[in-house]
Amino acid sequence: MEKKNIAIHNVDDFKGKIYTIRGVQVMLDSDLAEIYGYATKDFNRQVKNNIERFDEDFRFQLTEDEVKFVSRCKNFTLNEQGKGRGHNFKYNPYVFTEQGIYMLMTVLKGDLAVVQSKMLIRLFREMKEFLQTNAHVFAEIDNIQKHLIDSDIHHKEHDKQIAELFSLMDRYKIDDTQGIFFQGQIFDAYAKFQSFISQAQREIVLIDNYVDITVLERLSTKNSGVDVTIYTLPNTRLTAQDIRSFNAQYPTLIVRHTTSMHDRFLIIDNSILYHLGASLKDLGRKCFAFELFDAGFISDILAKV
């Protein structure tokens, strides 16, 4: 069970909890447990209860050398790390990749989980945008982290350098009006979609012929009080029970049927219009594009739907 309902409200609070290991960026199980309000053992129990969702590229256990590397980055000893996990250090910790963190968002429930998931999505969105436009800076971060393993240079100096490099991220926040996601960029695509719906303060309108319950899971991270209307085909995979269950926790959802639309559109607060090249349930499975359209088309689309 969640131990307290205290959320971290600043993306910057997460930055020191991300490490580059085996060429991918990961977060520790203990850090994620703290973020989501769980004791580490309870957090890992939730994961084990849904272990079929966490493949090796979503979650893996650190080796002894990797534990030493993370310990040095965190600036404490293994014994201290063991105390921080709430018990003696009997096993090497697990870490979660971006895809694994995204999968956690479908496993952990509750108001705190929703708030923290949004913050994690924003963080990885920033990091992806930064990586795309400043690859040389992130390469330098990787070089510093690898050097920590291979040398005895004073770790405080490296912490200072890493902090300085992370501070550069704040200079490169890009509001994309269009973009392309390639096959396999599932987390990136869903993170971008979450950034769209997080803008909504009043209403979300989704036009998508192929909607299933996974789309509702994405929409459950909307801001409180935001109404959702979905236009989809009459033979939708959504059941009346799916809609009732969603409304019981995240009101209010209305599902309407239409056969007049081919493309997918997302309308935010009747003032922002996105054109999506893939159904939301398939984001990242194949190459697709998105584009911000002129809001002047919103009234015409809603009139035709």
Q: For the chain (length 305 residues), average pLDDT per consecutive 10?
A: 48 70 87 87 91 91 88 55 43 88 80 74 69 60 58 53 49 60 78 85 96 88 93 92 91 95 95 92 84 92 93
Q: What is the side-by-side order of every strand in the sheet holding 272-276?
A: 178-181, 288-293, 272-276, 264-268, 203-207, 227-232, 253-257
Per-residue model confidence (pLDDT) at position 48? 92
Structure tokens at 260: 């007049």
On whether the CB atoms of residues 108 and 36 are closer than 8 A, the answer is yes
On whether the CB atoms of residues 252 and 229 are closer than 8 A, the answer is no
Q: How far apart are CA 207 and CA 258, in angstroms?
A: 9
Q: How far apart are CA 118 and CA 194, in angstroms?
A: 8
pTM comes to 0.47
Structure tokens at 160: 């200072």
Query: Looking at the chain, which residues constitute the CATH 3.30.870.10 domain(s)?
Result: 178-304
Strand ranges in 59-209 using DSSP code E only, listed in sequence order = 59-61, 94-97, 178-181, 203-207
How many other CB atoms are found less than 10 A from the CB of residue 47? 22
How many other CB atoms are found less than 10 A from the CB of residue 267? 22
CATH topology of domain 178-304: Endonuclease; Chain A (3.30.870)
**Residue where the block lists tokens 């650190």:** 62
Q: How far apart are CA 23 and CA 2, in angstroms?
A: 32
Per-residue model confidence (pLDDT) at position 99? 84
Per-residue model confidence (pLDDT) at position 228? 97
**Positive or negative torsion for Cα 222, 227, 233, 235:** positive
Q: How far apart are CA 34 and CA 204, in angstroms?
A: 31
On whether the CB atoms of residues 98 and 25 are closer than 8 A, the answer is yes
Cα 148 to chain center, whole Å? 28
**Residue where the block lists tokens 């209305």:** 254
